[in-house]
C-alpha cells in the first residue's frame, strides 16, 4: 500500500484554502421511534389492520410526519430509509382452540410493499407471538408508510402493547 500526501487544500474556485472557521459538521440522521401503549382488542381477520402507534419515544424529524390518528408516516424528504418494526399479537380470547396465522406487512401509499414475516399461534390456550422485521428502501417525499397486521385464520385477535409489545422505528440514512 502507498501513502497519500496532501500538500495543499484549496476551495472549489482554487483561490485558496477553504474557510473552516465554523468547523465541519456531520449531518445527524433523522429518526423516530413510536410504540403502542394500548392493546388493540378484537382486530378483525381478512383485512389489513393498520397499527396506530400512540406513544412518541423520540422523533428528530422536523415536522409532524407521523400521524398518531391514522398510523401513517409521510416521508418528509426523498432519500434512503430503514424501517424496523415489531408486532406482538395474542389470540384474543384465551381459548387457543385453533391454529391462527398472521402476516406483518409494511404498506407504501396504501398498498402492500413488503411482508416482514408470518406469525403463528398454535392451538392450546392463551398464547402470544411476536416478530420483527427491517427493510431499507428508497422513498420519495410524500410517500406514505404504515404497518399493518393481516389475520389469515383467526376470527379476532389482539395487537399487544407494553414493553415487549409493538413498535415502529424509521430512520433516514441517506
How many angstroms from the chain centroid is the CA of residue 14?
Answer: 45
Predicted confidence (pLDDT) per residue in 69-123, tens digit: 999 999 999 999 999 988 887 766 555 555 566 777 788 888 877 777 666 666 5
Dist. CA 165–CA 38, nearest whole Å? 10
Backbone angles phi, psi at 172, to 5 degrees: -85, 120
Domains of the chain: 30-172 (2.60.120.40)
Dist. CA 10–CA 13, nearest whole Å? 8
Predicted confidence (pLDDT) per residue in 19-44, tens digit: 555 655 555 678 988 888 887 777 77
Q: Which residues pair with 81 in a beta bridge?
A: 137, 172
Dihedral Cα 41, 42, 48, 51, nearest 10 deg: -10
Straight-line distance from the first to the last Cα atom of the chain, in angstroms, rounded to the nearest whole number: 31
pTM of the full predicted structure? 0.73
**pLDDT for the residue 4:** 56
Amino acid at each position: 500500500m502507498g501513502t497519500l500526501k496532501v500538500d495543499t487544500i484549496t476551495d472549489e474556485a482554487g483561490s485558496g484554502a477553504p474557510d473552516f472557521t465554523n468547523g465541519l459538521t456531520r449531518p445527524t440522521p433523522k429518526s423516530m421511534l413510536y410504540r403502542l401503549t394500548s392493546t388493540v382488542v378484537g382486530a378483525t381477520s381478512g383485512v389489513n389492520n393498520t397499527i396506530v402507534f400512540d406513544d412518541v419515544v423520540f422523533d428528530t424529524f422536523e415536522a409532524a410526519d407521523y400521524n398518531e390518528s391514522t398510523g401513517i408516516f409521510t416521508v418528509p424528504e426523498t432519500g434512503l430509509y430503514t424501517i424496523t418494526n415489531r408486532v406482538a399479537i395474542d389470540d384474543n380470547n384465551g381459548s387457543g382452540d385453533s391454529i391462527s396465522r398472521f402476516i406483518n406487512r409494511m404498506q407504501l401509499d396504501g398498498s402492500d410493499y413488503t411482508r416482514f414475516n408470518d406469525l403463528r399461534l398454535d392451538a392450546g390456550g392463551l398464547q402470544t407471538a411476536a416478530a420483527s422485521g427491517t427493510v431499507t428502501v428508497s422513498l420519495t417525499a410524500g410517500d406514505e408508510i404504515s404497518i399493518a397486521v393481516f389475520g389469515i385464520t383467526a376470527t379476532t385477535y389482539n395487537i399487544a402493547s407494553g414493553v415487549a409489545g409493538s413498535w415502529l422505528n424509521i430512520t433516514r440514512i441517506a
